[in-house]
Amino acid sequence: MKQLVTGLGLAALTALVNVADAAPVAVSLPANFSLQAYTGTAAVNAGLLDADGVLWTVQEQARDGLQSWYLFFDPLNASRLRATVNFGAPIVAVYTTSAELAATQAEWSVDIDGDGQWNDYAAHRLMGLEGADTVNWAFGGTALTLDWRASDPGDHVRVLLWQPQDQTVPEPASAALALLGLGLAGALRRRTAR
């Protein structure tokens, strides 16, 4: 019985963990690069960060079963970045053009610096990717492979991940059934012990 309760507890704990909320992980990144969460005050898409060797991430809004992430590379000096990033959840869409990013900005953007003003994304005509830049991914896969050549204002993509809806608190009827099952298992166990 103790093993059953321990197993059920671990299963419940695992179900509450939402993998789409976990930060992306760099699977491959050049030695002189890092993957960092951006929380600064400078607007993204404007070429104001000027950080060589940093691939930035912003966890955006989550809703309707999707979690949005914004990735960007805004180097001081023109440079190339080849990397693979794993999100740990199925990718369902990647927006790479200036038009796509602008069209999805109101829906997914966040107040990055937390100052209460929604001014953290600049609407630059060169946001997104240019002709030589590539992003490879598979629908339902968890990895994104980048090959970017960036200069001001940098390269930017928005990635939408599927976020399972069944990882919420169970409805009362489900919880009652689970408790009833545990109670019956305990009673049965107690009866067979006599």
pLDDT digits (tens, 9 = 90+) for 155-188: 999 999 999 766 555 566 666 667 667 776 776 6
Structure-token pair, residue 73: 């590379």
For 25-36, give the DSSP string.
EEEE--TT-EEE
Structure-token pair, residue 151: 């200069």
Please give the span between the terminal C-alpha atoms of the chain, in angstroms, as a whole number.
15
Domain boundaries, the chain: 2-167
pTM, two decimals, is 0.75
108-151, pLDDT tens digit by residue? 999 999 999 989 999 888 899 988 999 999 999 999 999 999 99
Please tell me the distance from the alpha carbon of residue 158 to that of residue 170, in angstroms, as a whole number.
31
